[in-house]
Amino acid sequence: MEKFFKWFIGIFLIFHGGIFLTVGIAILTTISVNEENNYLFFIFPIIGMITLSIGAIILSRNIKNNIRIKKLKVSGEKIKAEVIDIKKTSFQINRIPLCKLVARDEKGNIFYSDMILSNKLNLLYSIGDRVNVLISSENPKNYTVLLDL
């Protein structure tokens, strides 16, 4: 569900930015900008460009993250790690806080999962449980914690 929110926010911002940019350009082409209207009509295309670029950044980060996880599933090393903590973040969705799993492997390396709703996380995992972690063989900082959702 959280992944859906990321995609939805990116698409919504692109759509919203496109509408504002289109309306702003249409307004600017139909009026003449002079000292009377005080360049107020430049606000629409500026808002459109800002929201369009933020939406594009969010979507590109989601796409890159999905590609990274697919590469790790194909060529990454799968290890088991023990959950040592469930950290609450300051973010919320519908007043439900988002949390991260903190896991440690046998070598003492610490791994953090993606953010997930705390009500799902508390049902699935508790401290002491084991989770799967995919680690890149070339770069050990490139990892992902596999959550069974």
pLDDT in tens, 94-107: 888 888 889 998 88
Q: If you average pLDDT over residues 136-148, what whole number do you get? A: 85
CA distances from 3 to 20, 55, 63, 130 (A): 26, 15, 11, 23
What pLDDT score was predicted for residue 113? 87
CA distances from 130 to 24, 36, 42, 79, 105 (A): 53, 68, 55, 10, 9
What pLDDT score was predicted for residue 50? 94
What pLDDT score was predicted for residue 12? 92
What pLDDT score was predicted for residue 38? 59
pLDDT over 90 (residue 15): yes
Selected residue with higher pLDDT from 60 and 138:
60
Compute the C-alpha angle 48/49/53, nearest 5°: 115
pTM of the entire structure? 0.72
